[in-house]
Chains A and B, each alone.
Chain A
């Protein structure tokens, strides 16, 4: 059942460029898609590991800057008189490096999360993102500061025998983002249904019990953070090469909040949640712009977050799933577990 829905969804999305001609909406869909990848990666930490990391945009932004700088080249001074010079590399190399470096940052956040739990962890992650933002803002020699990195090259795919395909048009980028989003979804889905996914879940539900059957807290949290950060970094890289201009505002806390609202509203701990939440909060601002000023919209979004937490705390997708399950259930109700056999067969 779930597989069928997924396939239909992908087909529907793939067919959109065939009938949608408005470039403004296309642009919105592309950036929404990128943010959905970011939201899916946040969901891995927030929904499947139970870590409220509010610095997630840092990984996205780091991915964006790493990718941009790798493909633009740079010449910057380091402490003690050293200089670091880098010649431009192809953008795909930037993508690869973005994934690696963002993942590395995720590693350190993961290590931290083991030492610092609960509310303090939230505060630390916010601080981490803000420090990164301030570095991007002030290390002007490297990042151009508020003047932004511009003319970032589009992603180029080398096709054997045909030549280089530069992904410059909206159409091309749309399919690139769609492909990456689908890939990310599959990867995360497989991860969640695996041995490692169960370790994450066990930790989230009952840490002492999980530990007593041999689940290593540090390793699990760290690995989850690495994977989550790496995917966010990939999204950031896509963003940099699509928008082609990156400034420190990418690290603004409001962007983390956007992703959080997407995940919480859609349903944390569900695979489809970030997609649904992402579509809503990615497209709504665009659709509402003619009638509602952005500030007014944000008042509403803040309100929506509060209302969802009060009324539908599990989010839209799990609540709908529960309603479906209740309708066709027997006396013993079961919330479709993450690893029930039916799901496993579909995702195997």
Chain B
């Protein structure tokens, strides 16, 4: 029983960061209809920013997280402006392939600069975990859970309570009408991609210290993000949060009770299973973003 509880705790921590990943992608995929293959690289990028800030620049650990979020935001905006905006109106295949090219180039860049050896990020938390009855959880993981929760709430508020969020939701429903109403669709697209990318970077920055940082870490993250989006429905933030936790649960239970080697297969299996039985995803395309 305590083992189950332990899995549950792990699931919560993991689920929170997965939710961030998923929300980011569901916004991009949902609002812009772009199959964003760079999402995983942004995740990796966020982790490496943490590494750079903490180890190469020697800054405070807690400062690194906001920096990673901002860096992800900037990189995302750059990608959208340089690669996506000129392709607006092209078929979805072309955009997908361009995203793949960007992914390869960026990931290889990271590999080239920092090498393939995995790196660990030192954290300021005590090594001894916090013991709560039958379960124990490290301070780091608690921090990750808290930060993830904070970011999820912040995103939710952004989408539902701000003018930008309102414009994003309008664009999601009907791009043409939104632009007729005065929404600057170009700006919305860039903002959406930037925000989504910053969330991916945040997820990477949070999980980087938990595991290790290596150039290909984003590959699996990307697939998991897609699994979450398919589970939760395009553009559905709440769905993405739920999906993130479902995936984390599946992974924890799968790793714990089936085989740890197949842990990462959970995401893929979910994708295949859901799409075989319900090709349009578990939830229909969200009526509205949020």
Once A123-B271, A137-B261 are accepted as A-B contacts, the answer to whether A299 and B108 lie under 8 Å apart by CB is: yes
Q: Is A120 touching B230 in the complex (CB atoms < 8 A)? A: yes
Q: Is B100 touching A260 in the complex (CB atoms < 8 A)? A: yes
Q: State which of B7-15, B91-99, B165-173, B244-252 sits at the interface with chain A.
A: B91-99
CB-contact partner of B223 in A126, A297, A300, A310, under 8 A: A126
- Within the complex, the shortest CB–CB distance from A196 to chain B, in Å, comes to 22
- Within the complex, the shortest CB–CB distance from A80 to chain B, in Å, comes to 16
- Within the complex, the shortest CB–CB distance from A297 to chain B, in Å, comes to 8
B271 contacts across to A, CB distance below 8 A: 123-124, 127
Q: How far is the CA of A239 from the CA of B105 in the complex (A)?
A: 27
Q: Is A130 touching B268 in the complex (CB atoms < 8 A)? A: yes
Q: How far is the CA of A117 from the CA of B93 in the complex (A)?
A: 12
Q: Is B272 touching A127 in the complex (CB atoms < 8 A)? A: yes
Q: Is A306 touching B223 in the complex (CB atoms < 8 A)? A: no
- Nearest B residue to A296 by beta-carbon distance? B112
CB-contact partner of B35 in A122, A128, A137, A298, under 8 A: A122
**B106 adjacent to chain A (CB < 8 Å):** yes
- Within the complex, the shortest CB–CB distance from A318 to chain B, in Å, comes to 15
Interface residue tally for chain A (C-beta within 8 Å): 42
Q: Is B35 touching A305 in the complex (CB atoms < 8 A)? A: no
State which residues 233-290 of B face A: CB under 8 Å. Answer: 259, 261-262, 264-265, 267-269, 271-272, 275-276, 279, 281
Q: How far is the CA of A134 from the CA of B259 in the complex (A)?
A: 12
Q: Is B275 touching A301 in the complex (CB atoms < 8 A)? A: no
- Bits for A110-141, please: 1 = Cβ < 8 Å to B, else 0: 00100111111011101110110010011000
A296 contacts across to B, CB distance below 8 A: 108, 112
- Nearest B residue to A128 by beta-carbon distance? B272
Q: Is A122 touching B105 in the complex (CB atoms < 8 A)? A: no
Q: Is A115 touching B279 in the complex (CB atoms < 8 A)? A: yes
Once A120-B275, A253-B219, A264-B97 are accepted as A-B contacts, the answer to whether A299 and B269 lie under 8 Å apart by CB is: no
Most B C-beta atoms less than 10 A away, residue of A127, A301, A305: A127
**B189 adjacent to chain A (CB < 8 Å):** no
**A73 adjacent to chain B (CB < 8 Å):** no
A309 contacts across to B, CB distance below 8 A: 94, 97-98, 101
**A293 adjacent to chain B (CB < 8 Å):** yes
Q: How far is the CA of A52 from the CA of B37 in the complex (A)?
A: 14
Q: Is A119 touching B101 in the complex (CB atoms < 8 A)? A: no
**A313 adjacent to chain B (CB < 8 Å):** yes
CB-contact partner of A302 in B29, B106, B223, B227, under 8 A: B106
State which residues 284-323 of A face B: CB under 8 Å. Answer: 293, 295-306, 309-310, 313
- Bits for B32-56, please: 1 = Cβ < 8 Å to A, else 0: 0001000000000000000000000
B29 contacts across to A, CB distance below 8 A: 119
B212 contacts across to A, CB distance below 8 A: none
Q: Is A127 touching B100 in the complex (CB atoms < 8 A)? A: no
Q: Is A313 touching B94 in the complex (CB atoms < 8 A)? A: yes
- Within the complex, the shortest CB–CB distance from A53 to chain B, in Å, comes to 11
B112 contacts across to A, CB distance below 8 A: 293, 295-296, 299
Q: Is A130 touching B223 in the complex (CB atoms < 8 A)? A: yes
State which residues 77-116 of B face A: CB under 8 Å. Answer: 83, 86-87, 92-94, 96-98, 100-109, 111-112
**A257 adjacent to chain B (CB < 8 Å):** yes
B269 contacts across to A, CB distance below 8 A: 127, 131
- Nearest B residue to A140 by beta-carbon distance? B261
Once A115-B279, A134-B262 are accepted as A-B contacts, the answer to whether A302 and B103 lie under 8 Å apart by CB is: yes
B102 contacts across to A, CB distance below 8 A: 302, 306
Query: 14 more A-B contacts (CB under 8 A) besides A112-B276, A257-B100, A299-B109?
Result: A116-B276, A117-B279, A118-B92, A119-B35, A123-B271, A130-B223, A130-B268, A138-B259, A301-B104, A302-B102, A304-B101, A305-B97, A305-B104, A306-B98
Please give me the 5 A-B residue pairs with the lowest Cβ-Cβ distance, nearest first.
Answer: A302-B105, A305-B101, A302-B104, A298-B108, A295-B112
Q: Which residues of B contact A (CB under 8 A)?
A: 29, 35, 83, 86-87, 92-94, 96-98, 100-109, 111-112, 219, 223, 226-227, 230, 259, 261-262, 264-265, 267-269, 271-272, 275-276, 279, 281
Give me 19 A-to-B residue pairs in the complex whose CB atoms sit less than 8 angstroms apart, sorted by A's number.
Answer: A54-B100, A120-B275, A122-B96, A124-B275, A127-B268, A127-B269, A131-B265, A257-B100, A295-B112, A296-B108, A296-B112, A299-B108, A301-B101, A302-B101, A302-B108, A305-B97, A305-B101, A306-B98, A309-B101
